[in-house]
């Protein structure tokens, strides 16, 4: 028994050393080859929410300073709508019976990404919608969008973030009847459903363009159990393909949406 225990202990020590060397190698290689780009906006009192939400992001101090015992202690409460700032729209948002936030498989939230840019078109027409022809043109140049990809649409609208009137087309609180910003057309959404993508994101306040009243793009994508990402930041800092997206929403049970931290991992 003693001999067996000594052999077992020796094996564990060798295994531990091997694991440590492997982890060290992985970490060194990862640091060398990966660049991390934050695709999320900060949440604060200037965060842009859908116009019908007039309260925005609330971050209220509970404690901030030294305790009677002389120790530092800081704590806050926060509250907000699901749909504001950089966030995820769960399929249940516009499709009855589809997945809520906590039901979305992780494999759909961590996947290869592609970026389709229509910034020039949106600069000419602030209500521009990504078309199926735009996607076909991208595929003709860059290759087919792979199944399971996370597709991000860059309209250039991130340059207006922080200016509510420019970003939404209106700064009238409580009124969503006169919005103007780019989005994704129904035909493009149907094309992406056929491609069996994991998620679809955009750098505007909605997958649908501002004037939409039926939110048909949401209906098409959510109806196929495809979640959306809205108010995605810094899309000008990533290439059109060759990167990994990690989009992790707050895991809200039954949620129709949630704040989301999104990052892109690129080769350096």
Q: What pLDDT score was predicted for residue 29? A: 54
User: Among 21-25, 157-161, 183-187, whose mean pLDDT is lowest?
Assistant: 21-25
Domain count, the chain: 2
Q: Are residues 137 and 251 in the same domain?
A: yes
Q: Are residues 28 and 97 in the same domain?
A: no
Q: What is the pLDDT of residues 61-117, one digit of tens each?
A: 999 999 999 999 999 999 999 999 999 999 999 999 999 999 999 999 999 999 999
Q: Name the more confident of 239 and 25.
A: 239
Q: Are residues 175 and 95 in the same domain?
A: yes
5 — pLDDT class (breaks 50, 70, 90): very low
Q: What pLDDT score was predicted for residue 34? A: 86
- Would residue 73 count as lying in a domain? no
**DSSP codes of every residue in 106-144:** HHHHEEEEEEEE-HHHHHH-TT-EE-HHHHHHHHHHH-P
Domain carrying residue 20: 2-34
Question: Residue 201 has which token pair?
Answer: 């994101």
13 — pLDDT class (breaks 50, 70, 90): very low
Share of the chain above pLDDT 70, in %: 88
β-bridge partners, 175: none
Share of the chain above pLDDT 90, in %: 86
Q: Are residues 126 and 217 in the same domain?
A: yes
Nearest C-alpha neighbor of 265 from the set 243, 236, 237: 243
CATH number of the domain that residue 214 is part of: 3.50.30.50
Q: Name the more confident of 268 and 55.
A: 55
Length of the chain: 268
**What mean pLDDT is predicted for residues 108-137?**
99
- Would residue 263 count as lying in a domain? yes
Q: Is the pLDDT of residue 231 over 70?
A: yes
Q: Are residues 107 and 183 in the same domain?
A: yes
Angle at 219 between CA 216 and CA 221, to 5 degrees: 110
Q: Is the pLDDT of residue 2 over 60?
A: no
Q: What pLDDT score was predicted for residue 30? A: 53
Q: Are residues 207 and 113 in the same domain?
A: yes
Query: Sign of the CA dihedral 81, 82, 85, 89?
Result: negative
Q: What pLDDT score was predicted for residue 33? A: 60
12 — pLDDT class (breaks 50, 70, 90): very low
Q: What pLDDT score was predicted for residue 74? A: 99
Q: Are residues 95 and 174 in the same domain?
A: yes
Q: Is the pLDDT of residue 243 over 70?
A: yes
Q: What pLDDT score was predicted for residue 19? A: 44
**DSSP codes of every residue in 78-97:** EE--SSBSSEEE-GGGTSTT
Nearest C-alpha neighbor of 129 from the set 94, 158, 145, 153: 153
**What mean pLDDT is predicted for residues 164-176?**
95
Q: What pLDDT score was predicted for residue 268? A: 78
How high does pLDDT run on average in the chain?
A: 91
Q: What is the pLDDT of residues 18-63, one digit of tens each?
A: 444 444 444 555 545 689 999 999 999 999 999 999 999 999 999 9
Q: Are residues 13 and 113 in the same domain?
A: no
Q: Are residues 21 and 104 in the same domain?
A: no
**Residue position matching structure tokens 């002389």:** 70
Q: Over the range 195-232, which residues count as b (16 or more CB within 10 Å of their CB) and which as e? A: bebbbbbbbbbbbbbbebeeebbbbbbbbbbbbbbbbb
**DSSP codes of every residue in the chain:** -HHHHHHHHHHHHHHHHHHHHHHHHHHHHHHHHEEEEE--PPPSTT--B-TT--S--EEEEEEEEE-TTS-EEEEEEEE--SSBSSEEE-GGGTSTTS--GGGS-HHHHEEEEEEEE-HHHHHH-TT-EE-HHHHHHHHHHH-PPPTTPEEEEE-SGGGGTT-HHHHHS---TT--SS----EE-HHHHHHHHHTT-SEEEESSS-SS-TT-SS-HHHHHHHHTT-EEEES---GGGS-SEEEEEEEEE---TT-SEEEEEEEEEEE-
Nearest C-alpha neighbor of 195 from the set 74, 100, 112, 117: 112
């Amino acid at each position: 028994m003693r001999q067996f225990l000594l052999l077992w202990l020796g094996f564990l020590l060798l295994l531990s050393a091997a694991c440590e060397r492997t982890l060290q190698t992985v970490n060194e290689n990862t640091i060398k080859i990966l660049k991390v780009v934050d695709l999320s906006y900060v949440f604060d009192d200037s965060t842009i929410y859908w116009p019908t939400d007039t309260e925005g992001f609330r971050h209220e101090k509970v404690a901030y300073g030294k305790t009677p015992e002389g120790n530092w202690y800081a704590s806050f409460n926060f509250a907000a709508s699901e749909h504001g700032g950089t966030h995820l729209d769960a399929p249940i948002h516009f499709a009855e019976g589809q997945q809520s936030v906590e039901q979305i498989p992780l494999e759909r939230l961590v996947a290869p990404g592609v970026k389709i840019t229509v910034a020039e078109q949106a600069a000419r027409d602030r209500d521009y919608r990504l078309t199926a022809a735009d996607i076909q043109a991208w595929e003709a140049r860059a290759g087919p969008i792979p199944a399971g990809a996370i597709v991000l649409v860059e309209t250039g609208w991130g340059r207006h973030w922080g200016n509510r009137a420019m970003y939404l087309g209106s700064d009238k609180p409580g009124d969503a009847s006169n919005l103007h910003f780019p989005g994704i057309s129904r035909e493009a959404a149907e094309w992406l459903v056929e491609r069996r993508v994991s998620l679809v994101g955009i750098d505007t306040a909605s997958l649908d363009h501002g004037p939409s009243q039926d939110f048909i793009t949401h209906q098409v994508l959510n109806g196929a159990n495809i979640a959306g990402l809205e108010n995605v930041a810094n899309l000008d800092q990533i290439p059109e393909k060759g990167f990994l997206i990690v989009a992790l929403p707050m895991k809200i049970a039954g949620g129709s949406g949630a704040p989301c931290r999104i990052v892109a991992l690129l080769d350096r």
